[in-house]
């Protein structure tokens, strides 16, 4: 079952602006990951944040994790037209028998206008 809920479902911004996407989940997790998908094909891994981490940076990406609220956010700063894509959060659930399978959200479609 899909446990991730992402908002907004769609986001349109001008190049140079910041884009913020949010993800909520329901169960206890080992980690949360963000992926990007272009043109409905393969996913590209962006960043992984562990359950004991609160914030992580990678280039223009900033991810936060609030386990008390079971939520995460992805911030893309100084956006570029090339950032146009769908962004998905995915959680790896904690618990016995955890296989590391990922539970994906429905995704946020980001459009960056030049």
Partner 1 sequence: GAGVSQSPSNKVTEKGKDVELRCDPISGHTALYWYRQSLGQGLEFLIYFQGNSAPDKSGLPSDRFSAERTGGSVSTLTIQRTQQEDSAVYLCASSLVSSLGQGKMETQYFGPGTRLLVL
Binding site for partner 1 (CB under 8 A): 2, 4, 30-31, 33, 35, 40-45, 48, 50-52, 88, 90, 92, 94, 98-107
| CB of residue 78 to partner 1, shortest distance in Å | 25
Complex with partner 1: residue 50 or 113, whichever CB lies closer: 50
| CB of residue 56 to partner 1, shortest distance in Å | 13
Complex with partner 1: residue 51 or 77, whichever CB lies closer: 51
Complex with partner 1: residue 68 or 99, whichever CB lies closer: 99
| CB of residue 44 to partner 1, shortest distance in Å | 8
d(CA 11, CA 79) in angstroms, rounded, equals 12
Complex with partner 1: residue 15 or 106, whichever CB lies closer: 106
DSSP string of the chain?
A: ---BEEE-SEEEEETTS-EEEEEE--S-EEEEEEEEESTTS-EEEEEEEETT-SEEEETTEEEEEETTTTEEEEEE-S--GGG-EEEEEEEEE-STT----EEEB--EEEEEE-
| CB of residue 108 to partner 1, shortest distance in Å | 10
């Amino acid at each position: 079952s899909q446990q991730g809920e992402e908002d907004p479902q769609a986001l349109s911004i001008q190049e140079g602006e910041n884009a913020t996407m949010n993800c909520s989940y329901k169960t206890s997790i080992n980690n949360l990951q963000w992926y990007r998908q272009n043109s409905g094909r393969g996913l590209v891994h962006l960043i992984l944040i562990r359950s004991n981490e609160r914030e992580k940076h990678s280039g223009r990406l900033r991810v936060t994790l609030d386990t008390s609220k079971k939520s995460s956010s992805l911030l893309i700063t100084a956006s570029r037209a090339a950032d146009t894509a769908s962004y998905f959060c995915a959680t790896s659930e904690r618990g016995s028998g955890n296989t590391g399978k990922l539970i994906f959200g429905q995704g946020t479609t980001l459009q960056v206008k030049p």
